[in-house]
Structure 1
Amino acid sequence: MELVDDGFAMGIVTINGERMLCFYTDILGFTRSGTVTFPGMGTVHKLAHGRCQIKILVLDNEPLAANPGGGFTAATGFRYCSFQVAEIELVAAQCRAFGCQLVVEPAEIRPGVRAAAVEDPDGNTLEFMQFDAQ
Structure 2
Amino acid sequence: MWRGCAKHAEGAEVDVPGEADMIEIVKEQLDVGLVSENPEVVDFWRDEAGLVFDHSIPVVKGQVQYRFDERGTVVKVNVRAALSGDQRSGIQELLIARDDLEAPREMADPDGNRVVLVPTGTDGVTQIGVRISVRDLGRTMAYYRNVLGFEEEAPNRVRCGDSVLLFDERADAPSGFVLAQRGWLYLTVQIRDCDAETARVEAAGGEVAVRPMNLGAVARMAMVRDPDGNLLEISQRAQWTGPLPEE
For Structure 1 versus Structure 2, the TM-score category normalised by the shorter chain is 0.7 to 0.9
Check if 1:122 corresponds to 2:228: yes
Residue-by-residue CA offset, 1:90-123 (whole Å, 9 max, x unaligned): 2211332344332211111121411111111110
Aligned to 2:102: none
Shift of 1:83: 0.9
Check whether the contact 1:85–1:130 (CA below 8 A) recurs between aligned residues: yes
Residue-by-residue CA offset, 1:60-103 (whole Å, 9 max, x unaligned): xx22x5246323xx421111111101121122113323443322
Check if 1:52 corresponds to 2:52: no
Distance 1:16 1:98 in 2: 19
- The secondary structure found in structure 2 opposite 1:79 is strand
Check if 1:9 corresponds to 2:129: yes
Check whether the contact 2:133–2:174 (CA below 8 A) recurs between aligned residues: no
Distance 2:153 2:237 in 1: 29
Aligned to 1:69: 177
Aligned to 1:111: 217
How many residue pairs match? The answer is 120
Segments of structure 1 that go 5 or more residues without pairing to the other structure are 36-44
Distance 2:185 2:161 in 1: 23
Check whether the contact 1:85–1:129 (CA below 8 A) recurs between aligned residues: yes
Aligned to 2:59: none
Check whether the contact 1:68–1:75 (CA below 8 A) recurs between aligned residues: no
Amino acid at match of 2:214: E
- Write out the 4+ residue segments of structure 1 that deviate beyond 6 Å after TM superposition: none
Correspondent of 1:87 among 190, 193, 196: 193
Aligned to 2:34: none
Check if 1:20 corresponds to 2:140: yes
Please tell me the root mean square deviation across aligned C-alpha atoms, in Å: 2.2
Equivalences for residues 26-45 of structure 1 within 5 A: 26-35=146-155, 45=156
Correspondent of 1:100 among 185, 206, 209: 206
TM-score by length of 1: 0.75
Segments of structure 2 that go 5 or more residues without pairing to the other structure are 1-48, 51-97, 100-119, 121-125, 243-247
Distance 1:91 1:46 in 2: 22
Check whether the contact 1:106–1:114 (CA below 8 A) recurs between aligned residues: yes
Larger Rg: 2
Check whether the contact 1:117–1:126 (CA below 8 A) recurs between aligned residues: yes
**5-14 or 108-117, larger mean C-alpha shift:** 5-14
Aligned to 1:78: 184
Distance 1:33 1:21 in 2: 10
Check whether the contact 1:103–1:118 (CA below 8 A) recurs between aligned residues: yes
Identity %: 23
